[in-house]
Amino acid sequence: MQPTPNPDRPHMEMPLEEPAEPVLARDSATVIVGRDGDRGLEVFMLERTLASDFAGGAYVFPGGRLDPADLDPGYVDLIDGWDPARAAEMGEDDETRARGILICAIRETFEEAGILLARGPDGTPVRLGPDATRWIEVRHALQAGEHDALEGAREAGIRFDATMLRFWGRLVTPVQAPKRYDTRFFIAKMPDGQVPLHDALETTASRWVRPGEAVEQALAGTLSIIFPTRKTLESIAGYGSAGELLAAAVDRPPDPILPRIVLREGEVRVVLPDGSSHLP
């Protein structure tokens, strides 16, 4: 069955046929970590290894797929600041799943970027500097699957802090894609006393960059950035500081953004609801 042109759309746009049974979109989380640089807001980005099966060679924010272990009920007693109302803020009906997505965001940010959004036994944010060797060992153990994040948190005597993360948006991969993700984007401010670093496994380089400059480099072809990441960078480029960005992450619309894949003037393109498009 061939797609038919839509006469109400310019540029001879034709939607691509949807599969009879689309691949299920997997829950995932991404964290935009911001800090105040000399010239304003900067965000931390990682270069994914070329061998990655997703966005190989591209610069992305820390994040990854929801793991079944993220749903462990044991986290109820190890996460501060969690409110069941946050599930609705994230567009999720299931509180356990919403909390698991938040746990996923914290876990992946630590595994990929070495940034730990947690508090120590005294209730203050964790500072990794004086104890760097120990935390590198914890990180490596998580990546090697020697224990999960819940066991690691218990052994380290830390508590994850939900208040360090604020929901920013949600995007679902088009139904025609062979791999699909239902991704929640969160905002976090870089904790004091920590120094981020890529993991040298899934990511091979890292940098702090101003959002607007990252967009300019992506459009110029000097920095590889996938479409959802670029659109997210565009959405935060107008904020002058990490504090401003964090303050703006309140009452954000939870409805998922649903891109479409279309054939436009002979090219397959991903199109967002605002009409902007990009080659896949």
pLDDT digits (tens, 9 = 90+) for 209-235: 999 999 999 999 999 998 889 999 999
Q: Quick one: which of 108, 119, 113 has its CA closest to 164?
A: 119
Report pLDDT digits (tens) over 134-159.
667 777 777 777 778 888 888 888 89
Spacing of C-alpha 15 from chain mean position = 28
More confident position, 147 or 69:
69
CB distance 101 to 170 below 8 Å: no
Task: Give 164's DSSP letter.
Answer: G
* Whole-number pLDDT of residue 138: 73
* Whole-number pLDDT of residue 3: 39
Crossing angle for the helix pair 95-113 and 149-156, to the nearest 10 degrees: 70
Spacing of C-alpha 142 from chain mean position = 19
Report pLDDT digits (tens) over 104-140.
999 999 989 989 999 988 888 888 765 556 667 777 7
SS3 content of the chain, % helix, strand, coil (to 5): 30, 25, 45
For the segment 169-190, the average pLDDT, to the nearest whole number, is: 92
CB distance 18 to 175 below 8 Å: yes
* Whole-number pLDDT of residue 280: 54
CB contact set of 230 (below 8 Å; sequence gap of 6+): 214, 215, 218, 278
* Whole-number pLDDT of residue 247: 96
Domain ranges of the chain: 24-257
pLDDT confidence bin for 11, thresholds 50/70/90: low
* Whole-number pLDDT of residue 5: 42
* Whole-number pLDDT of residue 191: 93
Q: Which fold has domain 24-257?
A: Nucleoside Triphosphate Pyrophosphohydrolase (3.90.79)
For the segment 245-262, the average pLDDT, to the nearest whole number, is: 91
* Whole-number pLDDT of residue 35: 97
